[in-house]
Amino acid sequence: MRRAIRWSARSAHHAALAHRRAAGCESSVAKLIGVEHIQQVWDVAMEWAGPSSLLGEQHRMSATQMFLNSQCMSIAGGTTNVQLNIIGERILGLPRDPEPGK
């Protein structure tokens, strides 16, 4: 599913650029892909660092600190679920989620 979202989002982004209009909801795609990528990068860095990365005091640019900070990125500026909803509704044309309690 993520592959389909990426493809569709890239197409929408390129169309927006071609028509010289603001990217709008396409920025949700950029955020989603960027956050997912940076989280994977720091996840691999933690694997390479091994168990020692969890012990002792860590400086602020350590793999441990960068990994923890990357997890915050999926919350700051809108959660991943919110970004997926925006992409689904505005780019893919899916129906809105039902209102809570209805």
Q: What is the pLDDT of residues 17-73, one digit of tens each?
A: 666 555 677 777 888 888 888 899 989 998 998 887 777 777 777 888 888 888 888
Alpha carbon separation from 58 to 41, 55, 72, 87, 95 (Å, rounded): 18, 8, 18, 37, 46
pLDDT of residue 58: 73
The tokens describing 2, both together, are 């993520």
Comparison of pLDDT for 50 and 77, the residue scoring more: 50
Q: How far apart are CA 60 and CA 24, in angstroms?
A: 34
Alpha carbon separation from 51 to 12, 48, 55, 56, 62 (Å, rounded): 42, 9, 7, 11, 14
pLDDT of residue 26: 74
For residue 41, the tally of other CB atoms under 10 A from its CB is: 14
